[in-house]
Amino acid sequence: MKRIKIDRNKCVGCLTCTTACIVAHNSEDTRSRITIDSNGKYAPIFCRHCDRPECVYTCMTGAMSKDRETGKVMYDKNKCASCYMCVMACPYGVLKADSRTRKEIMKCDGCKEKGSPQCVAKCPMSAITLEEVK
């Protein structure tokens, strides 16, 4: 399984990754699916697509699910009850409500429509990579 990783030593906090994310999702919500840690220096925090995802276990409708083939945690807005249990359960704080509707959850989907994560493709410092993990 591949996961997005960041080398914080290479990251300069330019936030190009967040712009790439917004553009990739053609979102009317001007917020990125990437969470920014501003504790000292701006740096992205990505969905870790956990092996045992708390967001999936707390989702009562099945809107959050783990794809066994790809290892990604996926979100189905059509099943979502907007209870925000997944947001509260995520230990990394990377899930958030869509600011337009307040009914959908915004989370990394690996830019499935584009074929590969655009934050990785557009990072000018090559600080963000897609790496195989065991």
Counting Cα atoms < 13 Å in the Cβ hemisphere of 34 gives: 30
- Tokens matching residue 78: 């059509």
| Separation between Cα atoms, residue 118 and residue 123, nearest integer Å | 8
**What tens digit of pLDDT does each residue of 22-56 get?**
898 876 667 788 888 877 678 888 898 999 999 99
The pTM of the full predicted model, rounded to 2 decimals, is: 0.82
CATH domain 2-125 topology:
Alpha-Beta Plaits (3.30.70)
2-6, 75-79, 99-103, 115-119, range with the lowest pLDDT = 99-103
